[in-house]
Amino acid sequence: MIVFGPVPSRRLGRSLGINNIPFKHCPYNCVYCQLGETRYQHLKAADYYSPNQIFQSVQEKLQRLLEKNEKIDYLTFVADGEPTLDKNLGETIDLLRDLKIKIAVITNGTLLRNERIRNSLSNCDLVSLKIDSGSPAVWKQVNQPVDELNWEEFIFGLKAFAKNFTGQIITESMLVKGLNDSEENIELIAQFIGELRVTTAFISAPIRPPVKNWVTLPEEKVFLNAYQIYTRNDKIPKVELLINYEGNDFTIGEKVEEDFLAIISVHPMREDAVRDFLRKAHLNWEFIDDLLANEKIKRLSYQSYQYFMRKNVNREE
Ligand code: SF4
């Protein structure tokens, strides 16, 4: 399913997700990824869905939401992998402009060394860049980039993009205990973010089940210290901590199963959110038992919560 949600997002309000690539193409294999191991790790943009197909899916979904008076803040490209691997992204964004809703792309920035990809984002309102490390050694440990990608080119791409992009740039840095949460690394990240003309820098934590089961959150004092380090940098106008659960404000349409599976394939859902979702859909827990029995979804425990996600992912159990 190409369009999912809307889902609640601290960064973007109520966001209608656009999953513009098939599972899971990404130049990274981040240790905290909530989607599972990267199945196709590469840097080559390709044709997946046509711009028209995406436009129509979004338009139909919006129509249904409009009938229910549902408000959308952003159309957000947030894929089962890296959205800039879609060769037609620029053309699709241009088409979606007609819908008069702000457009965001959440990217790891690995393809921005390529001018064509930088230009393809020029027509969106907001780009969120993932920056988890300030040095190549930590980058390799946290994001495990594909071999052909080198640090200098990656940094060049982000800077070149920030120089010319006229929309809003935000960053997100996910801190993992013992990996990229040292003061030294956080100082380097803040310094680099300061060069990117950002409006807000978010510091986040792996609050949903990560692909590597040894990944854990740093202690609270690490986040508070990171917050201090970022705010000391006068080139970062606003800093926000994203270390709490984002809420349960998920929306259901008529196709309940399809909608539920589309959301949890990109966005593993906590048990309380699932219960809330079922209540809104006038369903009981048998709905979940059936999906579990048919191996369409799986249950995971993380940080003393139960989560539900789609079964098509490979992860360490
Ligand atoms: S977290 Fe994002 S960038 Fe990292 S592996 Fe998963 S999809 Fe790719």
Measured in Å, residue 206 CA sits from the centre of ligand 1 at 12
Lowest mean pLDDT of 9-13, 121-125, 145-149, name the range: 9-13
| Nearest protein CA to atom 7 of ligand 1, as residue | 81
- In the structure, which protein residues have their CB atom closer than 6 angstroms to any atom of ligand 1? 26, 28-30, 33, 35, 38, 81-82, 108, 130
**What pLDDT score was predicted for residue 77?**
96
% residues pLDDT > 90 (the chain) = 69
Measured in Å, residue 125 CA sits from the centre of ligand 1 at 22
More confident residue, 194 or 254: 194
Q: Is residue 14 within 8 Å of 73, Cβ to Cβ?
A: yes
| Nearest protein CA to atom 4 of ligand 1, as residue | 30
pLDDT in tens, 68-80: 888 899 999 998 8
Measured in Å, residue 176 CA sits from the centre of ligand 1 at 14
Q: Hey, which of 20, 35, 78 would you mutate to test ligand 1's pocket, going by the most ligand atoms within 8 Å of its Cβ?
A: 35
Distance CA 193, CA 203 (A): 12
pLDDT in tens, 45-72: 999 999 999 999 999 999 989 888 888 9
Domain boundaries, the chain: 3-242
Measured in Å, residue 29 CA sits from the centre of ligand 1 at 6
Nearest to 110 by CA among 78, 162, 157: 157
pLDDT in tens, 211-227: 999 999 999 999 999 99
Please state which CATH class domain 3-242 belongs to.
Answer: alpha beta
Can you tell me which atom of ligand 1 is nearest the CA of 26? 8
